[in-house]
Amino acid sequence: MKNKSIQIQEKYHKDLQKLSENLGQSYGKLVEKMILYFKRTGIDPDDLKNESPSHKIQQLDKRLVSFLKVQERDILKPLRQETYEYYQNHEKTLEGAKSHITKNIAQVDQNSKIRTNSVLKELAKQRQALIAICEHLDPKNKKGLITTFQNIFKNAN
């Protein structure tokens, strides 16, 4: 490697010397790393407005936070509200269905009682008719027909 000399003002030479001591590197290595840094980052050393990378990261962080807040406001909160409203509507629908089912069960239960009573009345009529037929066929119960039917009806209860 061939050594080259560069001319810089005295005050910048002192700054280079301090940087070299603080970082523990020779002037040459430090200048090489500065050149690589400017190449990689694309930072223009003449642009004195150039902000530090940490400042740029802070700006980016603020932009990211702003973006997330806008997403939350425009997408997440409305989505949460829609979900909550859907849940409320679903709950109302379920309550309505439960109420409807309860009414239907009560109606079915009432109808079952009515049908059961109707069937029992009909059975009572049929028993009376059978006993009347038995009395007509065996008026004095000589054959025991009336007693037999009455015993059958007693055992059925």
Residue 121 in contact with residue 132, Cβ under 8 Å?
A: no
Tens digits of residue pLDDT in 84-97: 999 999 999 999 99
With b for 16 or more beta-carbon neighbours within 10 A and e for fewer, the 84-108 pattern comes to eeeeeeeeeeeeeeeeeeeeeeeee
Tens digits of residue pLDDT in 95-126: 999 999 998 898 988 989 999 999 999 988 98
Instruction: Break the chain into its structural domains and give their ranges.
Output: 9-44, 53-104, 114-157
Residue 79 has pLDDT above 90, yes or no: yes
CA separation for the pair 152, 157 (Å, rounded): 9
pTM of the model: 0.40
